Amino acid sequence: MKFIVSSTYLLKQLQVLGGVINSSNTLPILDNFLFELDNSKLTVSASDLETTMVSLLKVESDSKGSIALPARLLLETLKTFPEQPLTFKVEDNNTIEISSNHGKYALAYANGEEFPKSVALEDPSKTIVTGDVLATAISKTIFAAGNDDLRPVMSGVFFQFSSEGLTFVATDAHKLVKYTREDVKANQPAEFIMPKKPLNLLKGILAGSEEEVVIEYNDSNAKFTFENSQLICRLIDGKYPNYEAVIPKENPNKLVIDRTQFLNSVRRVSIFSNKTTHQIRLKIAGAELNISAEDIDYSNKAEERLTCDYQGDDMQIGFNSRFLTEMLNNLNADEVKLEMSLPNRAGILTPIDGLDSGEFITMLVMPVMLNN
- Residue-wise pLDDT tens digits, 96-131: 999 999 999 999 999 999 999 999 999 899 999 999
Question: Is pLDDT of 187 > 90?
Answer: no
Cβ-contact 81, 194 below 8 angstroms:
no
Instruction: Answer yes or no: is pLDDT of 372 > 80.
Output: no
* Structural class in CATH, domain 248-368: alpha beta
pTM for the model: 0.92
Please say if the pLDDT value at position 371 is more than 80: no
pLDDT (tens digit, 9 = 90+) per residue, 66-101? 999 999 999 999 999 999 999 999 999 999 999 999
Give the CATH architecture of domain 125-244. Answer: Roll (3.10)
Q: Which residues lie across from 98 on neighbouring strands?
A: 88, 105
Using the predicted structure, report yes or no on whether residue 305 has a pLDDT greater than 70.
Answer: yes
Cα distance between residue 219 and residue 235, in whole Å: 8
| CATH fold label, 2-114 | DNA Polymerase III; Chain A, domain 2 (3.10.150)
CA 313 to each of CA 286, 317, 324: distance values in angstroms, whole numbers, following the listed order: 8, 12, 22
Summarize pLDDT for 203-259 with one digit per residue, the tens: 999 999 999 999 999 999 999 999 999 999 999 999 999 999 999 999 999 999 999
Pinpoint the residues of the chain covered by CATH 3.10.150.10.
2-114, 125-244, 248-368
CB atoms within 10 A of CB 187: 12
CB 337 within 8 A of CB 352: yes
**Residue range 129-163, pLDDT digits in tens:** 999 999 999 999 999 999 998 999 999 999 999 99
Q: What average pLDDT does the structure give for the chain?
A: 96
| pLDDT (0 to 100) of residue 370 | 84
